[in-house]
Structure 1
Amino acid sequence: MTTHAAAHRTGRLRAVLLVLIAALAAAFLPPTTARAAGTIEEVTGFGSNPGALKMYRYVPAGLPQGRPVVVALHGCTQNARDYGTQSGWTTLADRWGFSVVLPGQTTANNISQCFDWFQPGDIARGQGEAASVRQMTARQITDTAADPGRVYVTGLSAGGGMTAVMMAAYPDVYAGGGVVAGLPYGCAQAAGSPYVCMYVGATQTPHQWGDRVRAAYPGYTGPWPKLTVFQGTADYTVKPVNMDDLVRQWTDVHGADQTADASDTVAGFPHRTYNDPSGAPVAETYSITGMGHGQPVAPGTGATRCGTAAAYVLDVNLCAAWRLGQSWGLG
């Protein structure tokens, strides 16, 4: 009996000590400690889904209400889950506290799993794939009680083309867009072919480019999303002229000229910023010297590092997701 009682007291003391240690550890954790990781899950029943897309999302465990949402669109031959992790977006969601919507294309829509940024029925407000992505965004805002004023969209390649679509068709939803190796809105129609757009570009004045955006939501008088573009100088799939045309398009939409107001280097790469007449930045570009077609990442554990190298996810010592998150105030 005496031995049993002693063992019982020892067990109670051990339990108390463990609780005290846990409490002390929690008290001294730095305020920037990452939230618990969540899992990428598929969501069904998010709307009428006229574009027949799939919805996936990533929500960090314990995410509070009122946090931002990032919609991240994968490139051709990629899938939503891999793009979410390889690009670094899920890691940053844990680190900074926001949720991620990951739209998924299907081979039934496009054999190469490209978002159909060039199809008139998929790029108009209220129609096709654009409407499906908008419905996913609305579902995510509702389910996470997110801040509707802090919703952003980004994507690679065809996902970058669809990013420009969402910015043009739903400027009332997205506060900013990050186009990675993508195309201007309406480029396939302006060039007469998606391939001409990709490989050559389209001959349009800045105002003609801007008119294509303005026609996507006639009568809209609210603020337009801020544009950020990442483009490799050695990209032979989507030629760098498309970055220039994106700048022409969105500076015109914002009433700005096409001359950079600030130029510097970031991680050794040229970086330019364009301001509107009031001096507010409305567009910025990162020209990644020597990079081919892909998503820039910077694997590692440093504060500015994120992403994992893979096919079309390229380690160039600059993580596009981190740069976008900083530009959007997510960090």
Structure 2
Amino acid sequence: MFGRSTRRPPLFTSARGMRFAALLLTTAAGCGPLEGGAPEEQATSDVVRVENGLTQVTGFGTNPGNLLMYRHVPASVPASAPLVVVLHGCTQTAAAMENTGWTAAANVYKFYVVYAQQPSSNNSTSCFNWFEPGDIARGSGEALSIKQMVDAMRSAYSIDPARVFIAGFSGGGYMVPAMLATYPDVFSAGAINAGGPYKCATSMTAAFSCMSPGVDKTPAAWGDLVRGAYSGYTGARPRVSIWHGTSDFTVKNSNATEAMEQWTNVHGIDQTPDFTETVAGFPHKEYRDSAGTALVETYDLTGMGHGVAIDPQYSFPGTSTVCGATGSFLSDVNICAVYYQAKFFGLTGGGGGGSGDTTPPTVNVTAPANGATVSGTVTLTASASDAVGVTRVEFYVDGSLAGSDSAAPYELAWNSASVANGTHALSARAYDAAGNSATDADTSVTVSNSGGTGTPVTVSFTSVTAEDGYIKANADGSLPAMGTLMGLALGRGTDGKYNRSFLSFDTSGLPDGATITRAYLTVGYSSGSGDPWASPAGNTLVIDVKTGTFNAAATETADWGAAADASAVASIPKFTLGTANSADFSGAGRVAINKTGKTQLRLGFTQNQAATAYLFIQDGANAKLTVVYTP
């Protein structure tokens, strides 16, 4: 235990520590053990500003972590209302986190908010000490101080103990899983913004490695860390919402994947998303239990850096109250993270205060009729209603999600040629605004398609991460500078040669007799150094296709020049953010796609760059091969 009356001196007082601090200060602030100077005069003025909008609470417990507590109490809060605890990032204050939108959301949906604040006397740049063992253990340090804030609110107000939540950004984002792990009996759910898994680091030095390039553990190993935080606990575990910018170079977005693996394992579910959609242009995935409840969700904020996603032009539904305001580490990317996190917590239901609605909606598949024989493209329809409001209806074929509709009339065009002839089960699941769901699964149809219906089928494959990789054109296969941190490398290396990247896809699910009419690759930007497209003039990034893989074993150095089954089948235009689609594959490229096994793509520039320059692309779920075929 660290006694706060004689708190340890500020971090990085050694020469080595100051070098680390200087390095981090040249990149970005907001998360790590030391993120940049924050003069004491600024901290004092922030406290005054906080007190103008929030109420400071003192004497809220023994407060072993020596934290500050501020609260916001909206007007007309009902009895048994929820509570949300909000944690800021390094160099920030409680007032700064108000601009994310939590106070505004509390005024609309009628719940209490506590803003914890780290004084600079604890950490020279006001970071929560998410990497200190004494501060992330049950019953001690900052973790206990935050829990005591919840206790103080429950003593002073009528708060539903089953609806206490926590959200944090960056350093606070790393502290959120610490609270969920150590106090699962207190918090029902949490939101991690640009943070990572619990016990990713337990020292200052390890914290830097955790932030970038990240720490890789198995889901079970991550889960064991959570289970060990409160040994013997057998109750329900908190649900988790994870938000991360794909271009975050302060906290590498691999942290989001590791956090997803940790909490899905804690909940005893797998790491394959059960529902995928696009929200405001960003990929959203849900990991559900057998009852269809989303226990973990992720938002990949394509192209966003280190920050909390806000949308100051967005008003909470049915109100004129806007979400967030611009400021440091607040990224206006046209999506209100606070609204969707409040929705995940169940706070946005009718009646305000996350009214405690537990009544599921009604739903019924209305077409096609049970027992019908169908062929070609079929319109699946369902009726759904709810006192609070239906947010979406999902359609399933044989238990697999076929698509969803968020507005009545709820319908989906389904290509029946995508399944084999015979009997298939159809079902629909409706969700209301409070997160309740109901399923209708009493419809079956007989699919009867003659061979070669001519109806196009579109399927997408994500790359096999274990087989993805890049090869530097060195005789020893050595890696390019920063390559392990940034993704798969393309461009000229420091040795004057250029790299090729490999993406592997399992395309065996394509019907053997299918005719592929179109194919293209989607890749996501991770980082860049220089401009590999710039010179020589006319340099182009192209794709080669191998039926199977370039090497039966692991990718090796010689593969950069190995023969492909189809070369330069499509080009990828220059891009510096987000994702990019290649041109459609040539006929030879389509023919080379393997219908019975793996298909591997090799990406490389047609000419060596005139100077060292890299493009780093993402692999795994962020690389997608889309194929259109006719059965």
Structure 1 Cα separation of the partners of residues 56 and 77 of structure 2: 18
1:207-226 correspondence runs (5 A) = 207-226=220-239
CA deviation vs aligned residue, 1:241-285 (integer Å, no higher than 9, x gap): 000000000000000001111111000000000012443211000
Residue 330 of structure 1 corresponds to 347
SS at match of 2:155: helix
1:127-138 correspondence runs (5 A) = 127-138=140-151
Structure 1 residues 211 and 272: CA distance shift in structure 2, 3 A: same
Structure 2 Cα separation of the partners of residues 190 and 132 of structure 1: 20
Q: Which has the higher helix share?
A: 1
Whether the 8 Å CA contact 2:76–2:110 is kept in 1: the answer is no
Residue 7 of structure 1 corresponds to none
1:110 matches 2:127: no
1:176 matches 2:193: no
1:223-238 correspondence runs (5 A) = 223-238=236-251
Structure 1 Cα separation of the partners of residues 94 and 208 of structure 2: 24
Residue 68 of structure 1 corresponds to 82
SS at match of 1:68: strand
1:91 matches 2:104: yes
Structure 2 Cα separation of the partners of residues 271 and 207 of structure 1: 24
Residue 155 of structure 1 corresponds to 168
Residue 14 of structure 1 corresponds to none
1:321 matches 2:338: yes
1:281 matches 2:315: no
Structure 1 Cα separation of the partners of residues 314 and 298 of structure 2: 25
Whether the 8 Å CA contact 2:182–2:230 is kept in 1: the answer is yes
Amino acid at match of 1:218: S
Following TM superposition, by how much is the alpha carbon of 1:73 offset from its aligned partner in structure 2, in angstroms?
0.3
Amino acid at match of 2:255: N
Whether the 8 Å CA contact 1:87–1:321 is kept in 2: the answer is yes
Whether the 8 Å CA contact 2:131–2:204 is kept in 1: the answer is no
Following TM superposition, by how much is the alpha carbon of 1:145 offset from its aligned partner in structure 2, in angstroms?
1.3
Structure 1 Cα separation of the partners of residues 189 and 225 of structure 2: 18
Structure 1 Cα separation of the partners of residues 171 and 269 of structure 2: 27
1:155-304 correspondence runs (5 A) = 155-189=168-202, 193-300=206-313, 302-303=315-316
Structure 1 residues 252 and 191: CA distance shift in structure 2, 3 A: farther
Structure 2 Cα separation of the partners of residues 192 and 243 of structure 1: 20
Structure 1 Cα separation of the partners of residues 109 and 53 of structure 2: 16
Residue 13 of structure 1 corresponds to none
Whether the 8 Å CA contact 1:251–1:276 is kept in 2: the answer is no
1:312 matches 2:337: no
Amino acid at match of 2:79: Q
Residue 95 of structure 2 corresponds to 81
Higher RCO (C-alpha 8 Å, min separation 6)? 1
Structure 2 Cα separation of the partners of residues 40 and 301 of structure 1: 23
Structure 1 Cα separation of the partners of residues 314 and 334 of structure 2: 12
Structure 1 residues 191 and 131: CA distance shift in structure 2, 3 A: closer
Whether the 8 Å CA contact 1:46–1:136 is kept in 2: the answer is yes
Structure 2 Cα separation of the partners of residues 90 and 137 of structure 1: 17
Structure 1 Cα separation of the partners of residues 189 and 73 of structure 2: 20
Gaps of at least 5 residues in structure 2 are 1-51, 349-631
Following TM superposition, by how much is the alpha carbon of 1:190 offset from its aligned partner in structure 2, in angstroms?
9.8
CA deviation vs aligned residue, 1:106-156 (integer Å, no higher than 9, x gap): 111111111011000000000000000000011112211111100000000
Whether the 8 Å CA contact 1:265–1:271 is kept in 2: the answer is yes
Comparing 249-258 with 140-149, greater Cα deviation is found at 140-149
- Pick from 55, 66, 80: which aligns with 2:69? 55
Structure 1 Cα separation of the partners of residues 182 and 243 of structure 2: 21
Structure 1 residues 300 and 307: CA distance shift in structure 2, 3 A: same
Structure 2 Cα separation of the partners of residues 123 and 218 of structure 1: 14
Structure 1 residues 190 and 211: CA distance shift in structure 2, 3 A: farther
Structure 2 Cα separation of the partners of residues 247 and 216 of structure 1: 18
Following TM superposition, by how much is the alpha carbon of 1:301 offset from its aligned partner in structure 2, in angstroms?
5.0
SS at match of 2:259: helix
Gaps of at least 5 residues in structure 1 are 1-37
Structure 1 Cα separation of the partners of residues 299 and 217 of structure 2: 22
- Pick from 22, 38, 56: which aligns with 1:42? 56
Aligned pairs, how many? 293
Structure 2 Cα separation of the partners of residues 281 and 323 of structure 1: 13
Structure 1 residues 188 and 219: CA distance shift in structure 2, 3 A: same
Q: Which runs of 4+ in 1 moved over 2 A?
A: 189-192, 276-280, 300-305
CA deviation vs aligned residue, 1:277-321 (integer Å, no higher than 9, x gap): 443211000000110000111102523550111000111111111
Q: TM-score, normalised by structure 2?
A: 0.46
Structure 1 residues 189 and 82: CA distance shift in structure 2, 3 A: closer
Amino acid at match of 1:303: F
